[in-house]
Structure formats: C-alpha cells, structure tokens
C-alpha cells in the first residue's frame, strides 16, 4: 500500500500516518520528492489491504492510497513510475547514463588489480570490479584473498579514482566489505539469501543484486524488495545469464528478461555478458546488444593476462579488447540516446 501525501500536507500529517502504520505493526519507507512525500507501507496482509486503504485515505494530508497488487512494492513502477539513476561513487547508472564496471573476476595480487584498474580507467570504465570473497562452485578452487583483497581494491581506487564494486557472500562480511566497497555485489548464488539481502540493505552503501541463474524475474524483483525493505533504494539489478538446456554458452543471456524487468521496476539494470556467455570472443557482441536493448550499465570481466587468471579467465577480456569495446559501446549508446 502506498500513501501519497498532498503537496500542502504538514510534517504532523506525515507523522500521524507513520504512527498509525506502526500501531498496526507495519513498517514504512519514506520517499520525499520535490513536491510531495510518498509513504510506502510494508507488511500489510493481503486480506486487510482494502479496509486499511480506506481508513488511511481519510487521514488529514493524505491525497490518495494506492493498494499495490504486485508482490513487490518499493521497487515497483507503481511506487515510482520513472526510471531512476543510482550512483556508485561518482559513476552514474540509469536515467540515460550507462555505467561500465570492469575488472577481474577475482583480486589476485596488488599488481594484478592495479594494472587492471589503470587499464580500464584509461579505456573509460566508470567503476572497478574484483572479488575478494569468491563464491566458487568447488571448495578446492581459489576462494579469493578476503580482507587482504579488499585492501588491494582500496589502493587501486586511491590511485585511479575508480569506485569499487565487490562481492559480499555472508552476513558476517557485510561490515568489512561495506567499509571498503562503494557498492556491494550480491552474487547469483546468494540472490535468495534473505538475511544477507536485509543486512546489505541496511549497510548504507548501494547494492548490486545479480539474478540467480535459476530464478524468475519475479523472484529476482522480490529479492530486491528485501534490500529495499532493509532501508535503501540504491539498488542496481544485474542480469548475468540463466541456466537453460543450451550448453554452447556458459549460461543463456536473458536480454528478454532484462527488458521485462525494466517494465516492472524503476531500478537501473546492468547486464553482465561475461558470466552469461563465458567465452571472451563472444562477450563484446553481447555487451553491445545489451546497450542496444536499454541496459543502464555493463559489468565486464577484464584481466591483464586471461591465460593466467585464477578464475574466469576464458571469459575475461584483455585490456586491449576492452578498450576497443568501450569505443563501440559509446557508439551504440549514442544511437539509442544514452551516454556511456
Ligand atoms: C562474479 O561476478 O564474479 C560472479 C561470481 O558472478 P555471479 O554471481 O553472477 O556468478
Ligand atoms: Mn567471475
């Protein structure tokens, strides 16, 4: 249920609405726009919605109450019809700006992340990626450098000015990762780790939520609602491929799903062709296709020596290939009325 306050409503009117919501044990989310305030009620049971909407609609200062029929509300277009931008440091994602997050799958050494950061910055990337905590399918594969990796990312930011996007895998890591990261990445394998989603939503940093590779668009959007309910709307969604019967590519890049999600939510959506396709030579074409389809950004794996990478080497672009791709991204962005 969304309560739209009148432009001339007072602070007292708003506080009254909030206290009535808490009387009913509903949570709330405030969105103060330029001309009006919107209050999202969290937790109203479906069978109470109609009666409660009627009761709130007659409170002083309330313009209208919109019952939300979708299973997600705070991130829905019903709540906020126009797509919004999310900032990661000084990089803008959405509202006509295409942000490009580039870097290795994993931070492997100070030299490796520094070298990559310099190269992607020079090519025009707007943020640096690199996992310090890695969710590997096998427990015997490289698991990441952990806290040491976070420090290396901070050093790379210090030198290049690029904001840092890095993955958090566990509720216990949220504090440490949020201290360094400009944006927390929640990976595909953790998309439905609800405690992690809630904690990330409370940490004060933007969150990029990857789509689980066996999740529907609705499940993905409901997962992002958990982050929103935690307290932030600085959420970026990331389509990274889903599992289908097809084995020619690592996953199946679901650009159709991306545009379907775009219709439902105002949150920016980034596309990750690297994990979706899994083959470096095919990544550029799909990155361009994503931009043409209206992606608000890209996440692309780049490694100075893909043949020596400790994870995801086969899908990682060399710095030279990334530089070439950036030029083409700008051309396609311009053609669809966006800026990269
Ligand atoms: C990654 O970004 O390196 C990663 C592990 O991605 P995903 O969660 O999409 O598999
Ligand atoms: Mn990876």
Mean pLDDT, range 151-165, rounded to an integer: 98
In a domain, 108, yes or no: yes
33 vs 60, residue with greater confidence: 60
Mean pLDDT, range 244-251, rounded to an integer: 97
In this predicted structure, the answer to whether residue 47 has a pLDDT above a threshold of 90 is no
The residue whose C-alpha atom lies closest to atom 8 belonging to ligand 1 is 187
Mean pLDDT, range 200-213, rounded to an integer: 98
| CATH number, residue 266 | 3.20.20.70
**What pLDDT score does 48 carry?**
78
Residue 207: left (phi > 0), alpha (psi -120 to 50), or beta?
beta
> Is the same domain home to 322 and 179?
yes
- How buried is 21 (Cβ within 10 angstroms: 0-12 exposed, 13-18 middle, 19+ buried)? buried
In this predicted structure, the answer to whether residue 46 has a pLDDT above a threshold of 80 is no
**What pLDDT score does 203 carry?**
96
In the structure, which protein residues have their CB atom closer than 6 angstroms to any atom of ligand 1?
Answer: 105, 131, 135, 187-189, 210, 240, 275
In this predicted structure, the answer to whether residue 44 has a pLDDT above a threshold of 80 is no
In this predicted structure, the answer to whether residue 195 has a pLDDT above a threshold of 80 is yes
In a domain, 77, yes or no: no
> Is the same domain home to 100 and 231?
yes
The residue whose C-alpha atom lies closest to atom 10 belonging to ligand 1 is 188
Mean pLDDT lowest among 64-73, 162-171, 257-266, 321-330: 64-73
State how far Cα 32 lies from the chain centre. Answer: 22
Mean pLDDT, range 254-264, rounded to an integer: 97
Scored b (16 or more CB within 10 A) or e, 298-310 reads bbbbbbbebeebb
> Is the same domain home to 29 and 176?
no
Q: What is the DSSP letter of 294?
A: T
> Is the same domain home to 248 and 289?
yes
Residue 322: pLDDT band (50, 70, 90) is very high
Among all ligands shown, which has an atom nearest to the Cα of 238? 1
Ligand 1 atom nearest the C-alpha of 188 is 8
DSSP 72-118: --TTBTTT--S---EEETTEEEBTTB-EEEEE-SB---HHHHHHHHH
**What pLDDT score does 146 carry?**
96
Strands 27-32 and 37-42: antiparallel
Residue 14 belongs to domain spanning: 2-66
> Is the same domain home to 16 and 161?
no
Kindly report, residue by residue over 62-108, the tens digit of the pLDDT.
999 988 777 888 999 988 888 999 999 999 999 999 999 999 999 99
Is the pTM higher than 0.85? The answer reads yes
Mean pLDDT, range 32-59, rounded to an integer: 85
């Amino acid at each position: 249920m969304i309560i739209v306050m009148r432009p001339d409503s007072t602070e007292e009117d708003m506080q009254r609405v909030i206290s009535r919501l808490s009387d009913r044990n509903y949570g709330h989310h405030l969105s103060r726009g330029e001309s009006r305030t919107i209050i999202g009620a969290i937790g109203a049971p479906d069978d109470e919605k109609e009666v409660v909407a009627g009761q709130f609609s007659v409170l002083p200062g309330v313009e209208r109450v919109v019952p939300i029929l979708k299973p997600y509300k705070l991130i829905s277009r019903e709540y906020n019809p126009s797509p919004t931008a999310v900032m990661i440091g000084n990089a803008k994602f959405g509202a006509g700006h295409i942000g490009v997050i580039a870097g290795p799958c994993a931070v492997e050494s100070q030299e490796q992340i520094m070298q990559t950061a310099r190269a992607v910055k020079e090519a025009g990337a707007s943020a640096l990626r690199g996992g310090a905590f890695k969710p590997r399918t096998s427990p015997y594969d490289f698991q990441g450098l952990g806290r040491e990796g976070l420090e290396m990312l901070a050093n790379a930011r210090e030198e290049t000015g690029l904001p840092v996007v890095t993955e958090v895998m566990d509720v216990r890591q949220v504090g440490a990762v949020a201290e360094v990261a400009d944006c927390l990445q929640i990976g595909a394998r953790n998309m439905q780790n609800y405690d992690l989603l809630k904690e990330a939503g409370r940490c004060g940093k933007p969150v990029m939520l990857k789509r689980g590779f066996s999740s529907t668009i609705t499940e993905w959007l409901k997962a992002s609602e958990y982050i929103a309910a935690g307290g932030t709307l600085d959420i970026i969604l990331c389509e990274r491929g889903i599992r289908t019967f097809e084995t020619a590519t690592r996953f199946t890049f679901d650009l159709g799903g991306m545009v379907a999600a775009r219709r439902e939510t105002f949150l920016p959506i980034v596309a990750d062709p690297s994990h979706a396709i899994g083959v470096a030579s095919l990544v550029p074409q799909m990155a361009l296709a994503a931009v043409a389809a209206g992606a608000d950004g890209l996440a692309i794996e780049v490694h100075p020596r893909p043949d020596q990478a400790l994870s995801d080497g086969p899908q990682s672009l060399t710095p030279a290939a990334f530089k070439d791709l950036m030029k083409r991204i700008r051309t396609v962005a311009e053609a669809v009325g966006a800026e990269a």
